[in-house]
Structure 1
């Protein structure tokens, strides 16, 4: 693992787990391919890990904090503990500083982990993840899924075909 990085932050839906829109049910959590192996390898190398996730379902009144916490707990059951969880619960119209592509979640995660943004990798599946990383001064890696728009892939400075390939980029 390239020691140029001290931490890796992951988007939750579509990156660590399959994207189930507005999921409040921990029984519907399914890991993305390679997620378990990537987290095991990162932690074995002493890498700090965190999650940065927009959860506008709360702000839209479609989910409760308790439901999101239950899904996050299930993610940790499957993948182990993360050093920080930074969640934007706002409605997109709230224009908060935390909702990706704003830098707030990434900056808060870096502060919680005690790392500098420029030494932090941010892995996500859509352009908002890349935008948040860039706005915070972190290093983005886009791992496209079937829902990622072509222009998001075209504009990403770094892409990887899957989570395991993210590890290979820094070996």
Structure 2
């Protein structure tokens, strides 16, 4: 591999947090009619689809474990979001409350590892985009790359410690695609005799 590309890995899949990243954060939402995509979310996903990059959602849904939602509620909300966003390749979520100590709840790596497995890509070639530190920490724990897209719920310290940030989802995806384009050009150029 060309030395100019050694600090980056190929983007084989992009994984998103759901609430506050792709759709408006409605705490413990079990009502599909309350799903509202965030500005730029559909366009960002359309760009990834056009580039042939698989997408998925990795989401903590502790409302199930707390008895505030059912698995069916979460699936109905996910289905509505999936329809409004034009379809993602896969969805995984953790139903456990924080005190359960499970391996899947972000910031632990379980959701990211499972999403990568389902998409058939190495975790190191995944990018996780989310709005809080737990999202980028889960990416790091799984060996993936994390990108923080701050919103009103994001703490200033989370922004300061994030490995990578973007002002909005569309910008984050455009940057990833530009990096991927540059990597292809560098690798192609580097392979020439």
Which residue is equivalent to 1:149? 155
Please give the TM-score of this superposition, normalised by the length of structure 1. 0.97
The one of 85, 91, 94 aligned to 2:97: 91
User: 5+ residue gaps in structure 1?
Assistant: none
Q: CA deviation at 1:91?
A: 1.2
Which residue is equivalent to 1:20? 26
CA distance in 1, matches of 2:154, 2:23: 15
Which residue is equivalent to 1:72? 78
CA distance in 2, matches of 1:4, 1:20: 34
Which residue is equivalent to 2:137? 131
Which residue is equivalent to 1:58? 64
Which residue is equivalent to 2:124? 118
SS in 2 for 1:146: coil
SS in 2 for 1:59: coil
Deviations 1:16-68 (A, max 9, x none): 00100000001111111100000011001100000000000000000011110
Ranges of 4+ aligned residues in structure 1 off by more than 3 Å: none
User: Which shows bigger deviation, 161-170 or 91-100?
Assistant: 161-170
Count of aligned positions: 170
User: 5+ residue gaps in structure 2?
Assistant: 1-7, 179-193
Q: CA deviation at 1:117?
A: 1.1
Cα RMSD after superposing both structures? 1.2
Q: CA deviation at 1:3?
A: 8.3
Indicate conservation of the 8 Å contact 2:62/2:95, yes or no: yes
CA distance in 1, matches of 2:94, 2:114: 11
